[in-house]
Amino acid sequence: MLLVVALALLFCAAGNVALAFTDGLLPNGNFELGPKASEKNGTVVIGKYAIPEWEISGLVEYIESGHKQGDMLLVVPEGAFAVRLGNEASIKQRVKVTVGMYYSLTFSAARTCAQEERLNISVAPDSGVLPMQTLYSSNGWDSYAWAFQVDYPEVEVMIHNPGVEEDPACGPLIDSIALRALYPPRLTNKNLLKNGYFEEGPYVFPNTSWGVLIPPNIEDDHSPLPGWMVESLKAVKYIDSAHFSVPEGKRAIELVAGKESAIAQVARTIPGKVYTLTFAVGDASNSCEGSMVVEAFAGRDTIKIPYESKGKGGFKRAVLRFTATTTRTRIMFYSTFYTMRSDDFSSLCGPVVDDVRLLSVRRPMLM
At 357 the pLDDT is: 97
At 27 the pLDDT is: 96
β-bridge partners, 174: 83, 109
CA distances from 148 to 103, 154, 156, 240 (A): 6, 13, 12, 22
Alpha carbons 84 and 329: distance in angstroms, whole number: 44
Q: How many CB atoms lie within 10 A of CB 360?
A: 14
At 265 the pLDDT is: 96
Residue 348 lies in domain: 212-360
Tell me whether residue 7 is in a domain.
no
Alpha carbons 265 and 185: distance in angstroms, whole number: 13
Radius of gyration, CA atoms only, the chain: 23
Last residue of a domain, one of 182, 197, 222: 182
Alpha carbons 231 and 223: distance in angstroms, whole number: 12
Sign of the torsion formed by the C-alpha atoms of 290, 298, 129 and 155:
positive
Tell me whether residue 280 is in a domain.
yes
At 141 the pLDDT is: 85
Buried-state track 100-119, b at ≥16 Cβ within 10 A, e below 16: ebbbbbbbbbbbbebeebeb
- Spans in the chain with pLDDT lower than 50: 1-18, 365-367
Which has the closest alpha carbon to 352: 191, 189, 243?
Answer: 243
Same-domain check for residues 53 and 117: yes
Alpha carbons 90 and 215: distance in angstroms, whole number: 20
Q: What is the CATH number of the domain that holds 326?
A: 2.60.120.260
Same-domain check for residues 238 and 337: yes
Last residue of a domain, one of 163, 182, 201: 182
DSSP 217-242: SB-GGG-SSTT-EE-SSS-EEEEETT
Same-domain check for residues 174 and 219: no
Give the list of residues 6+ apart from residue 366 with CB closer than 8 angstroms, or none: none
Same-domain check for residues 263 and 175: no
Alpha carbons 249 and 241: distance in angstroms, whole number: 8
Alpha carbons 337 and 350: distance in angstroms, whole number: 8
Tell me whether residue 109 is in a domain.
yes
Q: Residue 300: CA atoms inside 13 Å, Cβ hemisphere, count?
A: 4
Contact 237/213 with Cβ under 8 angstroms? Answer: yes
Cα 142 to its chain centre, rounded Å, is 10
Amino acid of residue 268: R
Cα–Cα–Cα angle for 23, 29, 34, nearest 5°?
160
Contact 318/303 with Cβ under 8 angstroms? Answer: yes
Amino acid of residue 178: A
Same-domain check for residues 109 and 237: no
Determine if residue 335 is left, alpha or beta; phi over 0 gives left, psi from -120 to 50 gives alpha, anything else beta. beta
Tell me whether residue 68 is in a domain.
yes
At 367 the pLDDT is: 45
DSSP 37-66: GGGEETTEE-STT-STT-EEESSEEEEETT
At 5 the pLDDT is: 39
Alpha carbons 223 and 236: distance in angstroms, whole number: 12
Q: What is the total count of domains within the chain? A: 2
Same-domain check for residues 224 and 278: yes
Alpha carbons 285 and 293: distance in angstroms, whole number: 17
Tell me whether residue 26 is in a domain.
yes
Same-domain check for residues 132 and 234: no
At 154 the pLDDT is: 95
Same-domain check for residues 162 and 43: yes
3-class DSSP assignment, residue 4: helix
Last residue of a domain, one of 161, 182, 203: 182
Same-domain check for residues 26 and 158: yes
Same-domain check for residues 76 and 172: yes
Same-domain check for residues 117 and 217: no
Same-domain check for residues 234 and 121: no
Tell me whether residue 176 is in a domain.
yes
Cα–Cα–Cα angle for 19, 22, 27, nearest 5°?
70
